[in-house]
Structure 1
């Protein structure tokens, strides 16, 4: 069922599982308001509200979770003093699928001008902008996404995948609802599992509430994993990349219904 369909009686379902509402960034207020009308929504509406604005990263950082360093630019704040050198990622605080996201070498005059234009474009649309140092380890190690599904005692690790680097340069726009990804199976390291567990423990209400969660990590400058995003609303779960993953997800749904 499509989330904004007026023909669906959402209150009539024992469980409604969010999967791919990737059109929400341009309609977030409407989407969150809809979520609050679905009594049996997984994940619950308050988690949807919290997770669809990446300012949640500030809360997780304050709770001691290692996160990518971020500068937040409000729509009414000009970016008058960007760093003189270094590669940086610009993206909206409310967004999905790596859309409206670009990578800029600020020592390059053209990149610098494009970065400033990127910020102005997002600000003109009333969107808050995130500025993060580009984590170069993604070019070699890639990004690790760890998938967790609900079990009897809270979220349990199911499987993990590797994402290849996606940001090759400035944002010139992209068609569709998400950028194409390079995906392969991955066995996470103990340090990655440990950071993911810290992320889940810091979720609002604790790790026992979500039906599913995805934790995305990239090695920081010292090689230790840092959180890029925690996905509780509409993550791809990459079920085809691990034998038994689809069955584990089905078991979690069946147990939640019971």
Structure 2
């Protein structure tokens, strides 16, 4: 274990022997950090927080702070972070609230760039990229391998589907379907198509991408169809494709409503 002599570490904290902590970092409360993780100078980590293996937390990041919720009254809620995440400078990740299930959860292999914010009770999957100053409000769910561009703001309780791509400066107040690209300011966000480049990079086959694209055209580019009818047609005409099943299910489970408007 390499701990700089100026670092302040609470006696309640549990750090693996291979963890490194830089100068003036502060680790307070019930914090557990597993093997190989690196905490840079001036980072602040507050518990109860669990941080998995091989994470990198950069200078001035604030991890595990109190939720920014007026109903929060000091309850011992949690932040849980998986493995192999990169949390860059000035990022802020907050613990959960009792009314939201008591925990904020971040998965594995995520890149969380400078000044991003993950609010209370959020659930962030694996392989997610949040660009500089991207902000997700409380109770937001972000699916695996989604990309959130710089200066994007996402409304509380919204969901971001897996493998989706949100362009920079977008304001999001409805659910974003999986596999699509969306850009635009609040109330004028438009879906321009499926995230073909991202899907190819993630190893999706041409056949699967073609089926997703066909489903997209049925659901998003059939103005004469009611949404429920478009979903039924997609399910009936495109078989043996779990990704299309996931897209249809995403619509069916939405409580806020799903962005369906497309770019002209």
Structures share a fold, TM > 0.5? no
Task: Give the strand-richer structure, 1 or 2.
Answer: 2
TM-score, reference length from structure 2: 0.23
The structure whose RCO (Cα within 8 Å, separation 6+) is larger is: 1
Larger Rg: 2
Q: TM-score, normalised by structure 1?
A: 0.23
> Which protein has the bigger helix share?
1
